[in-house]
Structure 1
Amino acid sequence: MAIRRILTIDNAADLAILKTVAAPVEGGVTDAVRALMDDMLETMYDAPGIGLAAPQIGELTRVVVMDLGDKPVEGSSDEPQTEEEALERRNPRFFVNPEILWSSEEMFSYEEGCLSVPTYFDSVERPARVRVRYLNYQGETIEEEIEGLYAVCFQHELDHLNGVLFIDHLSRLRRDRAVAKVKKQARLAA
């Protein structure tokens, strides 16, 4: 496993990749696809984040990893109190060729962030529930209805596979503000 560089919108070459539609994975979930997902998961944990799409590390393929830290731990509160408890709650999910089959008319607003748009958060409205299909780490076809943060994150990462960033859902003024903030932070860090 290796930690990969996460592409960000302040770099023109990175942005061109992030705005490109990713190709479907052909031939099922192979060892090479699993190795990519392992690298992506390690990269996401290192960042830290809760979701990462392959285009965010420069791989234009329809692969996503996610961990909402929502694994139930017996005898503990809803929110992890210690780093050990947070590690126990890890619940990695893997998605190859994910797709949305159905979306609810009911909408849900959530303040989103993105590893490719560092330091910027804004509220995005998305369908509250979606029915999805994907191949998991073992290559099995999974179909499920999801909601809440899981649905938000799934839709956010699927957008990445389609060359869409969460800031593309914002007004032009808010999108321009996000880009300016990220560019300013990159200049200050250099």
Structure 2
Amino acid sequence: MEGQQQDFDLLVIGGGSGGLACAKEASQLGRKVAVVDYVEPSPRGTRWGLGGTCVNVGCIPKKLMHQAALLGSMIKHAHHYGWEVAQPIQHDWKKMAEAVQNYVKSLNWGHRVQLQDKKVKYFNVKASFVNKHTVGSVTKDGKETLLSADHIVIATGGRPRYPTHI
């Protein structure tokens, strides 16, 4: 593998909640830490930023959409409690989806800033083991780098498999 090598006390593979917590805590304890995180696009092309499944396509967007539905229901019944709301009530799905995505992007950015503040090096790369203390990493544009560490934590979470025989 070409490219330079960078050495760390701890390398965390996975930028979800577990990996980020691990990396930030180790850094607070004075360790030289890096996080590598890359999401292989799904068969439908879904990909996302730092923060893992919950932040990007799970818990957070689901809760925001649920909140939007609750607001619609509350507005529908508001007139019973003295609120004058123009009827019929309109909903703009595109606007809601954009607001949800903008919120998720703000969380992605916040995670990057937190890593930077804690002196954790972030690599948006796909990593694979070379040996027990070294991973080879490849950027989206094909640039290769070796990352070595005394300790490596695998915190990649999981993704459901799509059936291939439908």
TM-score after normalising by structure 1: 0.24
Query: Larger relative CO (CA 8 A, sep 6+): 1 or 2?
Result: 2
Larger Rg: 2
Q: Give me the TM-score of the superposition, normalised by structure 2.
A: 0.27
